[in-house]
Amino acid sequence: MTTLTLPLVEACPKKMRLGPCGGVGPDGGCEIDPSHACLFLEPEWASAQAASAPVTPATHRTAPGTSAFQDRLDSGAFGVVAEVNGPDTVDVTEFVTAAERIAEVADVVSVTDHSGATVHMGNVAATAHLLARGLEVMPTFGCRDRNRMALQGDLLGIASLGARNALLVTGNHPEVGDSPDATPVFDLDSPRLLQVAARMRDEGRYANGRPIEERPRLYLGATAHPFAQPYDDRPGQVLRKVVAGADFVISQHVFDLPLWRRFVDGVNALRGDAPPFHLLGGVAILPDEPIARRVNAGLRGFSIPEETLTRLRQARDPQAEGITIAAEIVAELDATDGVSGCLLAPVTGRSNALTASAEQTELIAEVRRQAGVPVPVSGAAS
Ligand code: SF4
């Protein structure tokens, strides 16, 4: 349980219409006020919210060949995503150099959007720096900090810079990050943002119907939360996001394999009701038991099993054990029907844990080697 300052929730703090978000606790508690159940666990409340924001199915899908990452997944090869935070400095030399190295071991570099509700360089600027070096980039856009006008403007902006992928999420509430007094926006939630982006992509129109002269060509992604309650609804939520316009879906970090397998079976059972899409699993590379316990306590939406924590504690070289654990999970994902790739996320003890670094490259490369998922010749570097 976290110590949070919000008063009792009377409505969803993230103003979701098509929830629940991925922050629901194992006991069904709300991400923002764990003493209250997530409102979406009340079927009547959930259906009233959904009725107020029906999903309009996307009319088209992203055309083949829109992005190199799409080509990789469509080819049937196992796709690997690496993610980086923007740097905490105006001097981007180190950030760009490290990201170029990461791009050698991943198919696409995802640039987060103040991940964990923590401030870093903005993702449009960080994306521009990486595009200028010819990298395959996927900026993330969350709903916490921008209203629909700013989101549409930035989607058009990153497409004009040359980005061909975008990952669309609801995002953490400011309460869980380093600026808890920040005003949350949540004008949209991720399914509705997907709908808006898909309309821009497919119809060449903003959400208000006004035409866009040249539409953005974007391979659109969403996130899935198999390890947050209500578990039985999570495959259906993937389907709703795909119908809204997602071309691929990346899950929260996989640790609980039985729950993950149940989720994948549920998603595969629903595939016939949705356009084709790719499912990828998130995989964290843990450095040692104390940091793993800190992450476990601080982040909602997944839990690291005690067995994994024990392996890290008993290992002579905990980092090597963390790599082995991650490689075992990646190997399982690679062997699973309906799973097209993974997001590999080295966890570090640094204050900007995900900023691009040489360490990330080495960890990702080693996990890939042990998992039998070889590094492609060019990766996200062109
Ligand atoms: S857990 Fe998430 S979706 Fe549920 S009420 Fe809280 S903020 Fe809203």
Question: Does residue 131 register a pLDDT over 50?
Answer: yes
Q: What was the pLDDT predicted at 1? A: 37
pTM summary value:
0.93
Does residue 323 lie within any of the structural domains?
yes
Identify whether 176 is part of a domain.
Answer: yes
pLDDT of residue 201: 96
Percent of the chain surpassing pLDDT 90: 73
Nearest ligand 1 atom, CA 31 = 1
**Which residues have C-beta within 8 Å of that of residue 100, sequence separation ≥ 6?**
133, 135, 381
Q: What is the pLDDT of residues 192-209, one digit of tens each?
A: 999 999 999 999 999 999
Tell me what pLDDT residue 228 has: 92
The more confident residue out of 34 and 283 is 283
Please say if the pLDDT value at position 258 is more than 50: yes
Grouping H, G, I as helix, E, B as strand and the rest as coil, residue 335 is coil
Residue range 259-286: mean pLDDT, rounded: 95
Whether residue 215 is contained in a domain is answered as: yes
Mean predicted lDDT score pLDDT of the chain: 90
Question: What's the confidence (pLDDT) of residue 378?
Answer: 61
* Torsion, Cα of 171, 125, 198, 64 (10° steps): -120
Which of 1, 2, 8, 14 has the most ligand 1 atoms within 8 A of CB, as the residue to mutate?
Answer: 14
- Give, using CA atoms, the residue closest to atom 4 of ligand 1: 38
When mean pLDDT is compared across 167-171, 273-277, 337-341, the lowest value belongs to 273-277
Domain contains 21:
no
Number of domains making up the chain: 1
Whole domain around residue 305: which residue ranges? 39-371
Mean pLDDT of 309-328: 97
Ligand 1 proximity of 19 Cβ (cutoff 6 Å): yes
Q: Tell me the pLDDT tens digit for each residue of 350-379.
A: 666 566 677 889 999 999 999 999 786 666
Q: Which tokens belong to 217? A: 């060509």
The CATH number for 187's domain is 3.20.20.220
Is 17 a member of any domain? no
User: Which mutation among 21, 173, 185, 237 tests ligand 1's pocket best, with the greatest number of atoms within 8 A of CB?
Assistant: 21
Which residues partner with 249 through β-bridges? 222, 279
Q: Please indicate, yes or no, if residue 382 is contained in any of the structural domains.
A: no
Residue 4's pLDDT band (boundaries 50, 70, 90)? very low
Q: Quickly state the pLDDT bin for 380 (edges 50, 70, 90).
A: low
Output the CA 21–ligand 1 centroid distance in Å: 6
pLDDT in tens, 18-68: 889 998 988 899 988 888 889 999 888 888 888 877 777 877 778 888 999
Residues whose CB falls within 8 Å of the CB of residue 131, separated by 6 or more in sequence, listed in order: 137, 161, 162, 163
Residues contacting 232, CB < 8 A, separation 6+: 266
34 assigned to some structural domain:
no
Residue 308 lies in a domain: yes
- Ligand 1 pocket mutation pick from 30, 186, 225, 233 by most atoms within 8 angstroms of CB: 30
Q: How far is the CA of 30 from the centre of ligand 1 (A)?
A: 5
User: Could you report the per-residue pLDDT of 155-174, keeping only the tens digit for each?
Assistant: 999 999 999 999 999 999 99
DSSP string, 77-124: PPEEEEEEBPPSSS--HHHHHHHHHHTTTSSEEEEPSSGGG---S-HH
29 strand-pairing partners: 37
pLDDT (0 to 100) of residue 8: 39
Ligand 1 centroid to 218 CA: how many Å? Answer: 29
